[in-house]
Structure 1
Amino acid sequence: MNSSAVRSSVRAFRLVDLESLQASAGSMPPVDEAPVLRVVSDPMASGAVEPVIWPAPIGSGPAPQDEAPAPQVQVRLKVHGPLPRLPQGQVVTLPVTLSARPLEFAGLCLRNLMWLLLTLGLYAPWAQVRTRRYFLRRTLVAGEALDDHANPWLLLPRHLMVWGLVAGVVGAWVGSRLAGMVALSLALAVLPLLAYMNLSYRVAHMSWAGRRLHFDGRYQGVYRAMWAPLASACLVAWLLMATLAWNRPGGWMAWGAVAALWAMAVPAFVWGYFQYRQHHLVLGPVRLMWKAQRVAMAMLFVRALAWFVLASMMVVGVAAVVLAGVMLLRGRVSTQVLFGVWVAVAACVLAAVVPYLQARLQNLVWSKTGNRYLRFRCQLDVQAYVWLRLRHAVLVVLTLGVYWPWAEVAARRMRTEALQVWARVETDVLKANWAPRKRADRTKMAG
């Protein structure tokens, strides 16, 4: 990749308008100084541009200073080899927008709920596909819509398999604790395969501008990425069962130490999964890469832990004041009331921590994803997103769940429109070198 980046960086390209693509490109003077990187906020506008720095990682290296620029070449939309970049190192910003409407989505949710009740849950694959398709078809990237082409009938066996695994584990636990642990261990061994099937199927049936995305990872890769967290989680579960049977202070201390070590390794486990997922996403002629470091993922979880402690202290403090007031009025509090208070405290803490972690993770994952032609930029406002989810959680509780579609659309819009695509290649050039969906399917069948 580095050698191709150097060869491509010393070429001078001129992209002409679509109306004059058949004409030969004019002469281009040699470039004697380093290119100035610029972002055009609106690709169709001709106004002023502001200089920005194209991120150095993910396959973009500077051109050698002692090497003369290569002679100009005539640029065509359909090319072989490296794609032609924009001249003078220009970068175009492509916005991502979502046009979903809460009332439409509420109607879709109502229909899905009705069919789920009538079919006793068997309609779940159709509900999943219809929900995902609704949001993708209303997501525009560079003016082109995404789409989903999944077949719910092909997803039904997978759903039945998951339900069978859950029922088997629960049934084994009802029989005996040892049988339940064995069943849980077997289910964890199958989990990476299910994750691979779900990921590869979803990406392969997703398209942009009528062109399918591709996931070229193998199931061996997802096992390499997930075996350590799953095996260690299984070890923690077995040690917990042994500690419950032994029921000694030393056993509980040993189990707590092992569980703490596993929790400290969670950032590395999450980093390994995203490393596998992002490195195998293919957009037509280009492959994405992910350059986030393990340290960045660890710092993300440290911030999330600090926020968790702060939110817990605030919520527990408010709950303690409420309980003190109730005890002053009634004298004592029943066990059911205490249990309800602790459930409410846990729900409030999760409502504050989960959006925080979600926003931080989205910014880290997508801001470090790209290649030398395309880079993603995510600037999701963490504080605004957390407050949005908290307000909507209160409204969902007050309306007994009726407000959930409005909350979901607002949250998805904020997450979607926080994304941008930085492109060093024209979208028309990218589409011309990316086979449309039907033609790609025929080529695959012929092969």
Structure 2
Amino acid sequence: MTKELHNELYQITFAGRILEGFNDAEVRENVQALFRISDERTASLFSGATKTLKSGLSHADALVYHERLTKAGADVHIAKQPAAAVNPKPETDGAQPPAPSDAEPATTATPTGPQQETPLEFTGNGREYFGIWIVNILLTIVTLGIYSAWATVRNNQYFYGNTKLDGASFQYLASPITILKGRLIALAVLVVYVVLSEMYVEAAVVFAIAFIPLVPWIMVRSLRFNAVNSAYRNIRFDFQGRYGQAFMVAFVWPLLNLLTLLLLTPLVMKKTHEFIANGSRYGTTEFALKADTGSYYRFFGKGLLIAIAFGVAAFLTMRYVGFTVGSIIAAAGYLTLFGYFMAGISNLFLNAVHLDRHGFESRLQPLQMVWIYLSNSFFVVLTLGLFTPWAKVRMARYRASCTAMMVSGDLNHFVAAEQNRTSALGQELGDAFDVDFAAI
């Protein structure tokens, strides 16, 4: 490749024409599927006017886009981007770009340039989710719990699908049948344990002890199942944490923490965050936790000072002023600590996570978290649980509004490279162990 090709930027243009051997409806459907755009935007692309589908591309990337769109039947062209055109907005801006073909050689996923904040967005609403939520509950009751696997998938698909980054939604791809199988296995194990407990206490104890080594394995399988069934722009996530690391997180570090009278609590949390972050993948690119142990100790140290301050104030107030006022101060202290840790742990984790040269930023506010939690709880109780969908949507919207990805260079370029590198990789989804285990 010449030096000129390295320096020039290129764009993909399209005038609505289709290639010989394709019909108009077929090409429209292919292009719409590739870019994930609406019927109106698709119609605009085929209006006959020349449109810029993608700009700011290297020559190699332009060839990738050209080949994929040509295979879809679109008569697209590669053109040098005019020097005067500074990042012109493409017609498919914010839409899903087409993935490179399996045969195309990989392009680098290393982004360049200054970091730009790309905010997360949640577009769901309570009334829409209420329809899904109430149907899930009713069908789960009618089917004696069997439908719960389908309910889990529908819930996750709704929240994933309404969570967007750079204009593209996340995807949840798990099969309800797989989840149901996992739950039936867990139920069978529980039944065996209960029967043994009633008939043979010694056998139940042996069974429980024998189950302990399975806990780290279940942790790893659960994290991997959730990861590989999550995707962004058709690229699956993955989790490659090892059994030994899970064993340390589940048993060794907590035991050492107890032996040191909880002095290792910040370190234990850091080790847990490292296990989750460092084992996670987006396609073939590894996540990494870049945080020093001191930041965790400072975080917990501030929490301890807050607890001590409110505790002393509540104690002195109860003794010299009155029990009622002291109780109010104690409750205020509890809520302050609750908000501090609820928001702070998420901020601590996400602000330390990196994906190649991309970073993340979380700006959750403790007081806002407490207000949302308390008001949600009040309305859920007041409505006998019917406000639950609005409560979940409200919290999801706030969390998304405070979260952003710090993109170094072009995220589309990074995604295109990942699609190229992972296109030939098979995915072993494994068994479903939807056990709650997360960093935040």
TM-score, structure 1 as length reference: 0.64
Which residue in 2 is equivalent to 1:140? Answer: 164
Identity %: 19
1:414 to 1:154, Cα distance in 2 relative to 1, 3 A: same
Q: Report whether the alignment pairs 1:163 with 2:147.
A: no
What is the match of residue 230 of structure 2? 206
Structure 1 unaligned runs (5+)?
1-11, 28-41, 46-77, 234-257, 326-341
Check conservation: 2:117, 2:405, Cα contact below 8 A: yes
3-state DSSP class of the match of 2:426?
helix
The question of whether the paired residues in 1 share the 8 Å contact of 2:107 and 2:417 is answered with no
**Distance (Å, rounded) in 1 between the aligned partners of 2:226 and 2:8:** 37
Render the CA deviation track for 1:182-228: whole Å, top value 9, x for unaligned.
54444443222111111101111111112222223333432243231
Letter matched to residue 408 of structure 1: K
Please report how far the alpha carbon of residue 305 of structure 1 lies from its aligned counterpart in structure 2 after TM superposition. 4.8
Counterpart Cα distance in 2 of 1:409 and 1:182: 44
Candidates 330, 353, 356, aligned match of 1:369: 353
Task: Indicate how the Cα distance of structure 1 residues 348 and 194 shifts in structure 2: closer, same or farther if over 3 A, else same.
Answer: farther
Instruction: Give the SS at the match of 1:158.
Output: helix
Specify the alignment match of 2:219 in structure 1.
Answer: 195
- Normalised by the length of structure 2, the TM-score is 0.64
For residue 419 of structure 2, give the secondary structure of its aligned residue in structure 1: coil
* Aligned AA (2:111): R
SS in 1 for 2:385: coil
Q: Please say if 1:402 is aligned against 2:428.
A: no
Answer whether contact 2:286 2:356 (CA < 8 A) is retained.
no
**Contact 1:267-1:298 within 8 A present in 2 as well:** yes
Distance apart, 1:111 and its partner CA: 1.2
What is the correspondence of 1:42-61 to structure 2 with a 5 Å cutoff? none
Work out whether residues 140 and 146 of structure 2, in 8 Å CA contact, stay in contact via their aligned partners in 1: yes
> Which residue matches 2:296?
297
In 2, distance between residues paired with 1:13 and 1:370? 29
The aligned amino acid for 2:285 is V
Please say if residues 307 and 353 of structure 1, whose CA atoms lie closer than 8 Å, have aligned partners that are also in contact.
Answer: yes
Is structure 2 residue 426 aligned with structure 1 residue 444? yes
Hey, what does 2:23 align to over in structure 1?
none
| Equivalent residue, structure 1, for 2:285 | 286
Call closer, same or farther: CA 1:262–1:379 in 2, change over 3 Å: same
Structure 1 or 2: more strand by fraction: 2
Change in 2 beyond 3 A, CA 1:166/1:84: closer
1:102 pairs with 2:126: yes
Q: Residue 408 of structure 2 is aligned with which of 421, 424, 432? A: 424
Map 1:79-158 → 2, pairs under 5 A: 80=106, 82-83=108-109, 85-86=111-112, 89-158=113-182
Point out the structure with the larger helix share.
1
- Retained in 1: the 8 A contact 2:361–2:405? yes
Equivalent position of 1:415 in the other structure:
399
Q: Is the 8 A contact 1:311 1:353 kept in 2?
A: no
1:387 aligns with 2:371: yes
Letter in 2 for 1:282: R
Decide whether aligned partners of structure 1 residues 404 and 167 sit closer, same or farther in structure 2, where only a CA change above 3 A counts: same
Q: Does structure 2 retain, via aligned residues, the 8 Å contact 1:351–1:390?
A: no
Letter in 2 for 1:135: F
Q: Which residue does the alignment assign to 1:239?
A: none
The number of residue pairs the alignment matches comes to 343
Kept in 1, the 8 Å contact 2:110–2:357? The answer is: no
Mapped contact 1:204–1:214 kept (Cα < 8 A): yes
Change (3 A) 1:445 1:102: closer
Q: Which runs of 5+ in 2 are unaligned?
A: 1-5, 12-53, 63-77, 91-103, 429-440
